[in-house]
Chains A and B, each alone.
Chain A
Amino acid sequence: MAKQTSVTNRIREVRGAMTQAELADAIGVTRQTVNAIEQGKYSPSLEVAFKIARTLDSSIDDLFSYPDD
């Protein structure tokens, strides 16, 4: 059921001075969802991941990583 996702990310580090609320507004989700993504409690859809990458002028590969088996 509810669990931490294996996907890790560097959103907190890359967004710098931009607040969670500002990022949330830019990509069309709630601030709580941005917080959950940053804490590894929620894996965003591919569409939201692309929006985050575009907003932060970065790439999905740079922001998200998945551990090797």
Chain B
Amino acid sequence: MSFQEKSTWISLATVFLIYGWYFGTTATELGGNVADIDYQSTMLFTVVAVVVVSVILNVVVVFADPDASDTSDERDRSINRFGEYVGGYVLAAGALLGLGLAMAEIEQFWIANAILLGLVLSELTSGVVKVVAYRRGF
């Protein structure tokens, strides 16, 4: 498995687990007035945690195989480009959803979480597309 593929797996797992934890935790607080939910600090913590954990795991992979870490070739770049291209559609859908909620003057809680959900689903889609491309062929 190339370094770029390992990095894709790390990103996929990190995003799935940490944002999964965030949305699971946030969902348990629903029921009352969402304006009272202090989601901002948890959301910021989660976003930072995803970045930090991803960096740490990538560093671990680099130390495990230093020679492979600086290799990225045309296949890696093509797969990355294709994954980001597909994920971009999901990101756009999330942005439109956030826009629609803002226009409808829905609570900020829902707008912020809809945008974050769009980002997360976009990341997951890109990751899955890349992994499938690496495994099945591209």
Contacts of A32 in B (CB 8 A): 1-2, 5, 75
Chain A, range 14-51, C-beta contacts under 8 Å to B: 28-30, 32-33, 36, 39-42, 44-45, 48
Specify which of B5, B68, B71, B137 is in contact with A41 (CB 8 Å cutoff): B137
- Which B68-108 residues have a C-beta within 8 angstroms of A? 68, 71, 73-76
Q: Which of B27-77 touch A at CB < 8 Å?
A: 68, 71, 73-76
Partner of B137, one of A29, A40, A48: A40
Q: Tell me the dominant secondary structure on chain B's binding face.
A: helix
Interface bracket on A: 10 to 19
Cross-interface CB contact of B138 among A28, A30, A42, cutoff 8 Å: A42
Check if B121 is an interface residue, CB within 8 A of chain A: no
Return 25 A-B CB contacts under 8 Å, by A number. A1-B129, A1-B132, A2-B132, A2-B133, A2-B136, A28-B73, A29-B73, A29-B74, A30-B71, A30-B73, A32-B2, A32-B5, A33-B74, A33-B75, A33-B76, A36-B75, A36-B137, A36-B138, A39-B137, A41-B136, A41-B138, A42-B75, A42-B138, A45-B74, A48-B74
